[in-house]
Structure 1
Amino acid sequence: MKYATGVLVAVLFFVSLSEARSAVRIKNDRGGLIAAYILKYDRLASSGESVIIDGLCASACTMVLSALPSDRICVTSRARLGFHAAWNYGADGRTFTDPEATLMLYSTYPRPVRRWITRRGGLSPHTIFLSGRPLQEMYRPCWATTNPSLDLL
């Protein structure tokens, strides 16, 4: 009985270890179209993989904070999140700040992130960056043993 219990514990340990190593690394993502990120992060959420933020994650990239539970996100000391108001194209082809899309985006962020954004004046056309200690107080640190299965650029 002791032998079977020991084997079971070892198997569970290695299964959990392999799951912990299944992660996507975000290193230099400047963002893009919100719709594309919604699709990308829906697939990521369904995959069960975790995310390592290990560099710049700006604009639409920050939607990962809304797409995954915080226990599936970790940050390194290099993590840097960039937030700004959502924008859209006008009839003349020029970009403009879209208040409705900005409110929608803001409302999806986790409460600590929304508080941080609000303390800095809210989302505007100018990018504000969350990094260092304030970010590390919101998300767990990544462990050096994590072996990402895929790098996102």
Structure 2
Amino acid sequence: MTILLKLLLIVGVLGTSAFGFAYFFLFAVSGRRQFLRWAIVLIVSAFVLSHLAKPVQAKPIAYLIDGDMGGAMLRYEQKAKIIGGAKVVIDGVCLSACTMYLRRDWNLDVCYTPSATFGFHKPFAWLRNSVVTGTMAIANADASWRSNFFEQMPARIRVMLSGKSIPSPAAGDPMDRFVFVKARDVGDAVKPCPKDWAARYKLVDVQSITTGIGAQ
């Protein structure tokens, strides 16, 4: 709403209110119903204009995750810093490094919908278009999995991942192999989104956040 239009609405509210009460006064003095009808019309009009003059409440931003297949861990760390205190809505697939949004030490305001699915595997290094393998790569993947993922997950998710064989591309597992955690199993480990989340927030695709760091 432009400033000029807002000023015109304010003037309209004041003018119709003044004339409305003036006609009401004339009705009180003369008893003529015509004045009463005009008073009611003008006062109702002033009420409508006053609502039009109110500023529209801007929706808070929420970053939407749906079909995030993961990528470089540092890129997700940078994205988390950009997101800051905004809401993060997980409404679909969130795999690999995407699950870092659940890290407790990042303190993100994350919620999930019934469509959310989380997929976990161990991190890996990428060199010359292929996964780095070998004894050292496997040891690094194990250490990174524990410090950057497992130990930072909500307690309920840690319990679900405990004792499972987490796929490790560094050890030769396919990159598209995951241990999945469905929304129905998350429970209160992560906050469920409000039912009206799609209408409540101005949704921004989290993948639209640019960091200058490559996908791998």
Shorter-chain TM-score bucket reads 0.7 to 0.9
Instruction: Kindly indicate whether structure 1 or structure 2 has the higher relative contact order, using CA contacts under 8 Å at least 6 residues apart.
Output: 1
Q: Does 1:30 align with 2:50?
A: no
What residue number does 1:109 align with? Answer: 153
Structure in which a larger fraction of residues adopt strand: 1
Shift of 1:148: 3.5
Whether contact under 8 Å (2:156, 2:186) holds in the other structure is no
Change in 2 beyond 3 A, CA 1:44/1:101: same
Q: 1:92 & 1:27 partners in 2: Cα distance?
A: 26
Tell me, in whole angstroms, the C-alpha distance in 2 between the residues paired with 1:93 and 1:29: 21
In the comparison of the two structures, how many residue pairs are matched? 132
Q: 1:135 aligns with which of 173, 186, 197?
A: 186
With the length of structure 1 as denominator, give the TM-score of the two structures.
0.73
The Cα of 1:93 is off from its aligned counterpart by 5.3
1:86 Cα deviation from its structure 2 partner? 1.1
Q: Deviations over 1:15-35 (max 9, x none)?
A: xx967x431110110000111
Counterpart of 2:206, as a letter, is: L
SS at match of 1:28: coil
Higher percent of residues as helix: 2
Aligned to 2:7: none
Preserved contact between residue 123 and residue 144 of structure 2 (Cα < 8 Å): yes
Q: Provide closer, same or farther for how the CA distance between residues 91 and 111 of structure 1 changes in structure 2, counting only shifts above 3 A.
A: same
Report the aligned-residue RMSD: 2.6
- Tell me how far apart the structure 1 counterparts of residues 151 and 127 of structure 2 sit (CA, whole Å): 24
Deviates more, 1:97-106 or 1:53-62: 97-106
Conserved 8 A contact 1:41-1:64: yes
Taking only the aligned residue pairs, the percentage that are identical comes to 24
Give me the TM-score of the superposition, normalised by structure 2. Answer: 0.53
Moved over 3 A (4+): 67-70, 89-94
The residue matched to 1:123 in structure 2 has which SS?
Answer: coil
